[in-house]
Amino acid sequence: MVMEVILESLLGSNKTGEDDEIMKDFQDGSQLMVVNFFPPCPEPDLTLGMPPHSDYGFLTLLLQDEVEGLQIQYKEKWFTVEPIPNAFVVNIGDHLEIFSNGKYKSVLHRVKVNSEKSRISVATLHSLPFRCMVRPWSKLIDEANPRRYKDTNFATFLNYISSQEPKKKEFLESRKLI
């Protein structure tokens, strides 16, 4: 349902058969669940629970406990995402930035540790099937809005992270044309 709303936000109500095909690919897509446990750290300023990065896929749904830790970067400043009981945080991933030709931006985020409390989060990363090529949606490219990204797939991502440690949004930067 979230992807349907995103597609509608990109095109308005001009729905076509291609939109149904994209939704089918997304419904048949990949899902990865990651459970993170961050123990208390007596000197939290000396370490990060997770360094700054963006998520690879289209969307990440994150369920976090009541302990603060998740931070997002906006205009070069870090902001804490306050935990809301029984709510999901929805992060835009690199694939959605590529697919939207930059209309949506993937979120650079990190996790800080707490000196007194442990923190648990459960993230589910959603994307197209591993075999699919992700490219800017043709409906979003025209003379005024040129193509901004190269095609990519899961194999490209794996090759990238096996050759170097991914930092910040470097993988996404490697896919940019403009």
Residues in the chain: 178
Q: Does this model's pTM top 0.85?
A: yes
Split into its structural domains, the chain has a count of: 1
According to the model, what pLDDT value does residue 141 have?
94
Q: Which CATH number is 50's domain given?
A: 2.60.120.330
According to the model, what pLDDT value does residue 24 have?
84
> Residue 126: helix, strand or coil by DSSP?
strand
Q: Is residue 5 part of a domain?
A: no
Q: Give the tens place of pLDDT for each residue, 4-56.
A: 889 889 877 666 666 777 888 888 888 999 999 999 999 988 888 999 999 98
Give the domain extent around 77. Answer: 29-154+165-175
Give me the mean pLDDT over the 143-153 stretch: 95
Q: Give the tens place of pLDDT for each residue, 49-97.
A: 999 999 989 999 999 999 999 999 999 999 999 999 999 999 999 999 9
> Residue 77: helix, strand or coil by DSSP?
strand
- C-alpha 59/C-alpha 6 separation (Å) is 11
